[in-house]
């Protein structure tokens, strides 16, 4: 036994216990060894080590999280694809593609006996009532819900819903005329008016009642929360990369955000209950769900609660974003604007003649909207899926199971390898007027995603965009104001973070010649 003499006097045995600092330094050394080993494994021996991409991003997912928080994910993915090619490793266990074939490989229908690529579950937060909505449902429940909702988004349903669409399109035009009064022109932010209209319209179709945005000329508080939640989602992606932090949501997420989320869900439930009380009495989403719910294959009230917010966000913000984008590009490319004006005003003698069936037949209008979706996709981000156990071939190369894979819409649609003059707004590329764009890889363009989980409401969205844009350009002349010349320089947080789009509004034919 070894003894140490204490200065205070007396003797005591030395217990060979490491000091706090020696324990700390030992722990730090172990962590250094672990992370050095992790880095070597990730860069040299990981199954994805052969894929190109930034080395730091291959080591830690925090790099990707920073891109998201900065709102630069869409532009960063394009830059990385331009540098490394059609597939890039953006995190230790994640790949992002822009190749046209990746759409079918990742999102397409699978052969019988082959497992599907499920949505990356870490990216989707559960609803407050714990019931899956259609975007997070498993394959069986998704198929059941989709069969029900297919009726609500069919061409037949669209014909029956036209009266509702026309009503809100009319309110949209009347509100803009009211802003002008007797003035020759009026400066407005057109983005908010697109949002007011699309939220009211989809609120009526989803809940049987609007949010009152148009009538009150301002955002409903519920709509504000939805839009704020989209921005906040970028910060919550930390749970995607570090799922062990999920139990700390109550601590990491500000209490007021959780309270707002619950309040918005409670309002959804209240609106759903009011709509259900009316039964199948009007041509909205609920009536079709109720009509086709039989033999235990319907949708529960709780599932309708969970889906309601999905309907509203998916059917409003994306449509308003596209309308804002197409307005900006038309006003920047005046020759395209003038050609579209001639087509619309040359086709319809009066506003009341503008019907959905007639709009489908306008080739330049449809090519303008298609090109706007290419150059300014309403969802510019990625749609992650998980490779099933056993792995799969993607873009002619094997990818092991449990890897997160996705296609970057913005990068794919802006790739020079897919589209000639990709940064230019060229609606003519979608027409058969010349051979200049005949080599464009149109199969790379999938704005509504691809396969069994593609956007169910795309026909409604297309009809709504055609109607609102045609009504706007038939009734008014527009001019882009100087402060919005660089409007397109935007950040994205899953969806675009759109600034004001300031335009000068004139009554049709009243804009002075330049």
Domain ranges of the chain: 59-507
- pLDDT for 166: 97
Task: Report the sign of the C-alpha dihedral through residues 63, 67, 68, 69, in that order.
Answer: positive
Pairing of strands 94-97, 404-407: parallel
- pLDDT for 253: 63
Binding residues for heme: 455
- pLDDT for 365: 98
- Going by the DSSP 8-state scheme, the letter that residue 408 receives in this structure is B
- pLDDT for 356: 97
**Close Cβ partners of 130 (under 8 Å, ≥ 6 residues apart):** none
Binding residues: 455
- pLDDT for 189: 97
Q: Which CATH number fits domain 59-507: 2.40.10.220, 1.20.58.220, 1.10.630.10, 2.40.30.10?
A: 1.10.630.10
Range 195-219 burial, b when 16+ CB lie within 10 A, else e: bbbbbbbbbbbbbbebbbbbeeeeb
Contact 172, 471 (CB under 8 A): yes
Contact 81, 88 (CB under 8 A): yes
| Alpha helix ranges (H) inside 153-220 | 155-180, 190-207, 213-216
Say how far apart CA 487 and CA 501 lie, in whole Å. 7
Angle at 41 between CA 72 and CA 101, to 5 degrees: 50
- pLDDT for 408: 96
Say how far apart CA 390 and CA 401 lie, in whole Å. 5
pTM over 0.85: yes
- pLDDT for 34: 66
- pLDDT for 485: 97
Contact 416, 422 (CB under 8 A): yes
- pLDDT for 367: 98
pLDDT less than 50: residues of the chain: 1-15
3-class secondary structure, 491:
strand
- pLDDT for 9: 44
């Amino acid at each position: 036994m070894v003894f140490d003499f204490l200065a205070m006097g007396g003797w005591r045995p030395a217990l060979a216990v490491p000091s706090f600092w020696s324990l700390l330094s030992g722990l730090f050394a172990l962590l250094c060894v672990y992370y050095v080993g992790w880095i070597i494994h990730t860069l040299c021996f990981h199954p994805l080590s052969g894929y190109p991409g930034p080395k730091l991003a291959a080591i830690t997912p925090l790099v990707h999280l920073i891109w998201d928080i900065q709102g630069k994910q869409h532009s960063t993915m394009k830059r990385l694809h331009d540098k490394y090619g059609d597939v890039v490793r953006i995190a230790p266990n994640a790949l992002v593609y822009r190749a046209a074939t990746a759409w079918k490989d990742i999102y397409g229908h699978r052969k019988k006996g082959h497992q599907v690529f499920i949505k990356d579950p870490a990216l989707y937060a559960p609803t407050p009532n714990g019931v899956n909505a259609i975007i997070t449902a498993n394959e069986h429940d998704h198929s059941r819900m989709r069969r029900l909702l297919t009726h609500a988004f069919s061409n037949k349903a669209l014909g029956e819903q036209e009266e509702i669409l026309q009503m809100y399109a009319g309110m949209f035009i009347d509100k803009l005329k009211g802003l002008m009064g007797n003035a020759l022109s009026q400066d407005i932010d057109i983005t908010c008016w697109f949002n007011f209209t699309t939220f009211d319209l989809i609120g009526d179709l989803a809940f049987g009642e609007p949010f009152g945005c148009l009538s009150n000329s301002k955002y409903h508080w519920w709509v504000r929360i939805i839009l704020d939640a989209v921005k906040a989602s970028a910060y919550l992606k930390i749970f995607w990369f570090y799922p062990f932090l999920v139990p700390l949501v109550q601590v990491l997420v500000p209490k007021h955000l959780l309270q707002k989320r619950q309040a918005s869900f409670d309002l959804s439930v209240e609106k759903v209950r009011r709509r259900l009380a009316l039964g199948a009495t009007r041509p909205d989403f609920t009536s079709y769900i109720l009509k086709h719910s039989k033999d235990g294959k319907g949708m529960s009230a709780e599932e309708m609660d969970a889906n309601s917010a999905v309907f509203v966000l998916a059917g409003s913000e994306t449509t308003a974003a596209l309308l804002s984008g197409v307005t900006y590009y038309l006003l920047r490319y005046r020759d395209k604007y003038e050609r579209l004006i001639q087509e619309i005003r040359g086709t319809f003698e009066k506003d009341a003649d503008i019907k959905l069936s007639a709009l489908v037949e306008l080739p330049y209008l449809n090519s303008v909207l298609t090109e706007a979706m290419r150059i300014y996709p309403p969802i510019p981000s990625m749609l992650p899926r998980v490779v099933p156990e056993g792995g799969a071939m993607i873009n002619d190369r094997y990818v092991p199971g449990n890897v997160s894979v996705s296609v970057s819409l913005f990068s794919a649609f802006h790739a020079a390898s897919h589209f000639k003059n990709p940064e230019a707004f060229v609606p003519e590329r979608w027409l058969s007027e010349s051979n200049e764009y005949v080599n464009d890889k149109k199969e790379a363009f999938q704005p509504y995603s691809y396969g069994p989980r593609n956007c169910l409401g795309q026909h409604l969205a297309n009809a709504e965009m055609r109607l609102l844009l045609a009504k706007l350009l038939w009734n008014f002349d527009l001019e882009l104001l100087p402060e919005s010349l660089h409007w397109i320089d935007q950040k994205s947080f899953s969806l675009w973070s759109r600034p004001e789009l300031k335009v000068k509004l004139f009554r049709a034919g009243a804009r002075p010649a330049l």
